[in-house]
Amino acid sequence: MPAEAPVPDHDVVVVGAGPVGLLLACLLAQDGIDVVVCEQRDGDDPRSRAIGIHPPGLAMLERAGAGAAVRAEALALTGGDVLSAGRVLASLDFPAERPVLVLPQPRTHALLRHRLDLLAPEALHAGSTVRGVRDEGAFVRLRVDVAHRRRELTAAFAVIADGVHSDLRTDLGLGWRRRAGRAGYAMADVRDPEAGSRALLHCGPDGLVESFPLPGGIRRWVVRAVEGEDIASAPGFRAVIRARTGTDPVLGDDVVPVAFVAGQHLARVPVRGRIALLGDAAHEISPIGGQGMNLGWTDAGRLAAALTAALADGGADLGDHARRTVRAARTAQRRSAFYMSMGTPARGVPLVAREALIRVLGSGPLRGWAAGLVTMRGL
Ligand SMILES: Cc1cc2nc3c(=O)[nH]c(=O)nc-3n(C[C@H](O)[C@H](O)[C@H](O)COP(=O)(O)OP(=O)(O)OC[C@H]3O[C@@H](n4cnc5c(N)ncnc54)[C@H](O)[C@@H]3O)c2cc1C
């Protein structure tokens, strides 16, 4: 008689307790699935990254039971204006039934973590670094370092949600293809009691400046880098905003702008056997447009359903999850590349054509469609 496959320790091991891994774990735990999340960090992730939560992302937070807590803390944007050289080219309003929320990622993360603690208090293994994952056919085996000691874990499935620089994706040879859209930016979150509730996108001749209100009287400024301009120091950052927008931002000299490169990549193979990539490990979406975390959440919603079905019938088939992940990521990346192109420095005919396009997109017949685009309709 052939030897029986050992019973794995868990149904699912998620690698990485970022916002995407945590949301998946909440969805699985809610369905009674035995899920463990290995996270290399012991403490919080203080990085200020995502702020925008779009309707598809909010729907996933609701499904995971974290929607009410997020809505209670977040600021709801009432709309956004696109400007060039002080003129408003287009204005969109976000209706209350399709809200765009703003909440700094560390808070969203904390609320998801709290939700997981309520659903499955033992699920999060902090201080656990996964060094390797292998598909053994009937189960997966993970090598995990905990406090300098090597452990092994087995599970029916492994979900790799270890972020954009995923070492495991590289080890598994799942590919990482560059996609269109790449530029440098700097951002700063500053105190501003007049921040209001509308997003302002300045797409003028000298390059993009974005301004978003955050809860608690904070404003985020995002400035596109242009060669020869200093946006690394507070005085330089402020001078560039003033020159490009015509307004003097409320921004003290103690502010330290954070530089980042917005790039786009897509994994070649998002699912192999019992191993699935998720979130930024599967696709990097440019932050311009604010879709990366939200897209990771919608992928997590689909993956949770696929895992639940596979576990119920004892198989390893995750259905069309890989195909749909790739399709959604390509759509989001095309949209982000378009948003980035609207903020490149431009002069003459290209600038006139761009401004005309923005005006058309903000005009009566197309306004609803454009609002759907920026609020991630269909993703
Ligand atoms: C400036 C900026 C602004 C952004 N704004 C938005 C926005 O407004 N809206 C939006 O939707 N998105 C936005 N994004 C993108 C968003 O931040 C990411 O899409 C999101 O953080 C991805 O979450 P994740 O869980 O996939 O990965 P991460 O948040 O990167 O989490 C990965 C986790 O895995 C852990 N880990 C890594 N390796 C291992 C290992 N071997 N073992 C165990 N744990 C491991 C890490 O410690 C980390 O906690 C922005 C990004 C940037 C840079």
128 has which bridge partners?
Answer: 146
- Tell me the Cα Rg of the chain: 22
Residue 135 is part of a domain; what is its CATH number? 3.50.50.60
Orientation angle between helical segments 364-374 and 348-361, nearest 10 degrees: 90
Domain boundaries, position 237: 183-262+342-374
Q: Residue 110: how many CB atoms within 10 A of its CB?
A: 16
Residues 199, 152 share a domain: no
Is any ligand 1 atom within 6 A of the Cβ of residue 145?
no
- Terminal CA-to-CA distance of the chain, rounded, Å? 48
Cα 87 to middle of ligand 1, angstroms? 35
Are 39 and 130 spatial neighbours (Cβ–Cβ below 8 Å)? Answer: no
Integer CA distances (angstroms), 317 to 74, 131, 278, 321, in order: 38, 25, 16, 9
Q: Does residue 41 have its Cβ closer than 6 Å to ligand 1?
A: yes
Same domain, 109 and 173: yes
Instruction: Indicate which atom in ligand 1 lies nearest the CA of residue 296.
Output: 26
SS (H, E, C) 148-209: CEEEEEEEEEEEECCCCCCHHHHHHCCCCEECCCCEEEEEEEEECCCCCCEEEEECCCCCCE
pLDDT in tens, the chain (379 residues): 556 678 999 999 999 999 999 999 999 999 999 999 999 999 888 888 999 999 999 999 999 999 999 999 999 999 999 999 999 999 999 988 899 999 999 999 999 999 999 999 999 999 999 999 999 999 999 999 999 999 999 999 999 999 999 999 999 999 999 999 999 999 999 999 999 999 999 999 999 999 999 999 999 999 999 999 999 999 999 999 999 999 999 888 889 999 999 999 999 999 999 999 999 999 999 999 999 999 999 999 999 999 999 999 999 999 999 999 999 999 999 999 999 999 999 999 999 999 999 999 999 889 988 989 999 999 9
Query: Is residue 85 included in any domain, yes or no?
Result: no
**Is 138 found in the same domain as 42?**
yes
In a domain, 197, yes or no: yes
With a 6 A CB cut-off, is 341 part of the ligand 1 pocket? no
Residue 269 belongs to a domain: yes
- The verdict on 167 and 276 lying in the same domain is yes
Cα separation, 321 vs 344, whole angstroms: 35
Q: Are 154 and 249 in contact (CB under 8 A)?
A: no
How far is the centre of ligand 1, averaged over its atoms, from the C-alpha of 324 (Å)? 21
Q: How many domains does the chain have?
A: 2
Residues 282 and 362 in one domain: no
